[in-house]
Amino acid sequence: MKKLIGIGLWLLAFAIPFRFSILDSKDVLLENGTADNITGLLSFLAVVILLFGGYALVDSASSKPTAEDHH
């Protein structure tokens, strides 16, 4: 079950549009000349958290080697 949830988190991470965090630079500058890209920052953080969370779930669901596997 953990593995399926982890794969679901990966799919959700790649469903988040990267346009706001990487490609959309013309909407970053405000009218007063300051830069503000909170949407891009939140998109990037969500992708990173979902990727690492999915990896942790998939990795914890894999079988662990036991003492009987060693010679």
Residue in this structure with the two tokens 């596997």, named with its chain if needed: 69
Structure tokens at 27: 């909407």
Domain spans of the chain? 2-62
Taking the whole predicted model, whether its pTM rises above 0.85 is answered as no
User: DSSP per residue over 50-61, as a string?
Assistant: HHHHHHHHHHHH
The pLDDT tens digits for 24-65 are 666 676 777 777 777 777 888 888 999 999 999 988 887 776
Residue 16 has pLDDT above 90, yes or no: no
